[in-house]
């Protein structure tokens, strides 16, 4: 019974933070607290493992570095993915006793990545709902309602509610994910560690692409060479 | 500013508290973002405290609110200048020193160019640069790297947003000259250059980490994967790239190939 109450508490915390992040992403403030590099460690801290959140947040941030909401174009929803992934993986790592290690992170990403695409649909649905709010505000103002624009804040409800529900569900099922992680055979763990290295490689490539500058490949090459050179130098030192 | 408008500065004015309320509400500019009016509801919501002070009669206030429910689109941060400028122009309108159409013309003239400036500087330069700086520092600073990201990004963003709002309010249509003096395009080029160097450093670190301990072959594979992904990403898209990377890494790492 105590375990169920604890799990409910964890899921509720994940729901509130995930929901607020969804609102912060576009509708309010835009302080970038909903970016994976902030959200994942913050949510990880609330769930008991901030470092585990950071393990997930940094590569996710780099993967989605070039995703920009310009006008009507919608990028994949990095916030929903980061929130759901952290809600599921951090408590799973605690339950499994492994923390957020490379195999669990790679497995979680493979499992939850479709939420980044689902998040785009959520955003389209929110926009449709907001268009109705806009029509209602115009109609009210035309009828002399001076407070018609207060409908604005209602636009925050749908992204909050849906993201909170998804995060709650992910956290609620985290013990199951923890159990799966504990059952990984050694060879699968090694393979998933390789998969996480590959995710970092993709993150670096995506970051270079995300800069959207003609000089980026050359400058990135310089940064790459300097890092490899420094590593070789450090290794050569006695 | 016209003579009549100058004289009107002594008429109805928005209080300092009213201005702060508008600034606060401008943080919710995109709460009801929609494809038809874009930030129209958010703009009307933001300027409402100013309209309340300028138009005590509800019918006049509703008319003013209705004209701010027209189509409006801008970068959410740069829009602060337009919100501030619109408050200033509304004061002139309320004092009979300007026509209401001037407010609409001001908003529609500045929205698109400010949107382009804001997108280029904040979304495509400052945010990537701040995130990459934090990512590079993460192995050394741990969780403090998150603080670095927030301090760099929001330190600049919040200061710019507040400055734009008050500069917009004090200068009205003169805000264009003030923004053009900031030389944003040069700053964008500088930040993108640094961001690219940092992205390269992260790529280098990924290769070094994959090659440890004594796994030079892994390092070569990861290096190859970075180059291949950078070339293929625009063609295959992010979703396919994520699953391709996971599958390749799993197959090679687990010895399934």
Angle at B30 between CA B26 and CA B31, to 5 degrees: 100
d(CA B120, CA B185): 8
Least Cα separation, residue A11 to chain B (angstroms): 23
Extents of the domains making up chain A:
2-212
Least Cα separation, residue A18 to chain B (angstroms): 17
Mutate to test the interface with A, among B199, B210, B232, B244 (most CBs of A within 10 A): B199
| CB interface of A with B, residues 173-232, below 8 Å | 187-188, 190-213, 215-228, 231
Q: Which stretches of B74-169 are assigned E, i.e. beta strand? A: none
- The pLDDT score that the predictor gives to residue B253 is 87
- The pLDDT score that the predictor gives to residue B184 is 87
Nearest of B176, B78, B167 to residue B119 by alpha carbon: B78
User: Is A206's CB within 8 Å of B153's CB?
Assistant: no
B230 touches chain A (CB under 8 A): yes
Extents of the domains making up chain B:
3-182, 190-253
B20 touches chain A (CB under 8 A): no
User: ipTM of this model?
Assistant: 0.95
- The pLDDT score that the predictor gives to residue B9 is 62
Phi, psi of B13 (to 5 degrees): -130, 155
User: Is A223's CB within 8 Å of B204's CB?
Assistant: yes
Q: Distance from first CA to last CA of chain A, Å, rounded?
A: 58
Using an 8 Å Cβ cutoff, are A221 and B201 in contact? no
- The pLDDT score that the predictor gives to residue B255 is 82
pTM above 0.80, yes or no: yes
Residues of chain A whose pLDDT is less than 50? none
Report chain A residues whose CB lies below 8 A from the CB of B74.
none
Report chain B residues whose CB lies below 8 A from the CB of A42.
146
Q: What is the pLDDT along chain B (257 residues), one digit of tens a residue?
A: 455 555 446 789 999 999 999 999 999 999 999 999 999 999 999 999 999 999 999 999 999 999 999 999 999 999 999 999 999 999 999 999 999 999 999 999 999 999 999 999 999 999 999 999 999 999 999 999 999 999 999 999 999 999 999 999 999 989 999 888 888 889 999 999 999 999 999 999 999 998 887 788 889 999 999 999 999 999 999 999 999 999 999 998 888 76
Mutate to test the interface with B, among A39, A108, A223 (most CBs of B within 10 A): A223
| CB interface of B with A, residues 73-112, below 8 Å | 73, 76-77
Question: For B66, how many CA atoms within 13 A lie in the half-sphere containing its CB?
Answer: 14
Least Cα separation, residue A1 to chain B (angstroms): 34
């Amino acid at each position: 019974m105590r375990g169920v109450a604890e799990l409910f508490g964890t899921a509720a915390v994940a729901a509130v933070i995930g929901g607020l992040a969804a609102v912060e992403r576009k509708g309010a403030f835009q302080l970038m607290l909903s970016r994976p590099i902030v959200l994942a460690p913050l949510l990880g801290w609330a769930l008991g493992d901030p470092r585990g959140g950071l393990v997930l947040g940094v590569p996710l941030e780099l993967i989605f570095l070039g995703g920009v909401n310009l006008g009507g174009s919608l990028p994949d929803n990095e916030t929903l993915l980061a929130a759901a992934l952290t809600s599921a993986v951090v408590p799973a790592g605690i339950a499994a006793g492994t923390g957020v290690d490379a195999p669990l992170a790679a497995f979680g990403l493979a499992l939850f990545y479709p939420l980044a695409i689902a998040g785009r649909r959520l955003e389209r649905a929110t926009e449709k709902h907001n268009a109705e709010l806009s029509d209602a505000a115009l109609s009210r103002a035309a009828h002399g309602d001076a407070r018609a624009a207060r409908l604005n804040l209602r636009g925050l409800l749908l992204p909050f509610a849906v993201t909170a529900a998804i995060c709650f569900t992910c956290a609620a099922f985290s013990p199951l994910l923890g159990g799966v992680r504990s059952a990984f055979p050694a060879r699968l763990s090694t393979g998933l560690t390789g998969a996480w290295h590959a995710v970092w490689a993709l993150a670096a490539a995506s970051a270079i692409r995300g800069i959207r500058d003609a000089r980026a490949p050359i400058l990135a090459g310089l940064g790459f060479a300097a890092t490899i050179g420094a590593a070789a130098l450090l290794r050569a030192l006695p | 500013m016209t003579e009549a408008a100058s004289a009107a500065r002594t008429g109805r004015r928005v209080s300092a508290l009213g201005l702060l309320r508008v600034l606060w509400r401008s943080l919710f500019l995109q709460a009801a973002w929609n494809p038809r009016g874009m930030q129209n509801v958010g703009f009307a919501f933001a300027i409402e405290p100013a309209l309340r002070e300028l138009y005590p009669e509800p019918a006049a206030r509703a008319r003013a609110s209705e004209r701010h429910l027209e189509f409006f689109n801008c970068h959410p941060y740069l829009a602060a200048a337009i919100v501030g400028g619109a408050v200033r122009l509304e004061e002139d309108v309320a004092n009979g020193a300007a026509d209401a159409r001037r407010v609409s013309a001001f908003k529609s003239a500045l929205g698109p160019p400010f949107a382009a400036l804001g997108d280029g500087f904040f979304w495509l330069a400052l945010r990537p640069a701040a995130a990459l700086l934090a990512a590079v520092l993460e192995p050394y600073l741990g969780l403090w790297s998150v603080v670095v990201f927030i301090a760099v990004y929001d330190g600049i963003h919040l200061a710019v947003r507040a400055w734009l709002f008050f500069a917009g309010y004090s200068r009205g249509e003169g805000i264009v000259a003030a923004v053009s003096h900031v030389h944003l395009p040069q700053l964008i080029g500088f930040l993108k250059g640094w961001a690219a160097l940092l992205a390269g450093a992260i790529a280098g670190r990924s290769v070094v980490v994959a090659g440890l301990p004594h796994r030079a072959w892994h390092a070569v594979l990861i290096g190859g994967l970075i180059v291949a992904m950078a070339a293929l990403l625009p063609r295959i898209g992010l979703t396919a790239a994520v699953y391709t990377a996971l599958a390749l890494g799993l197959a090679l790492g687990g010895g399934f190939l």
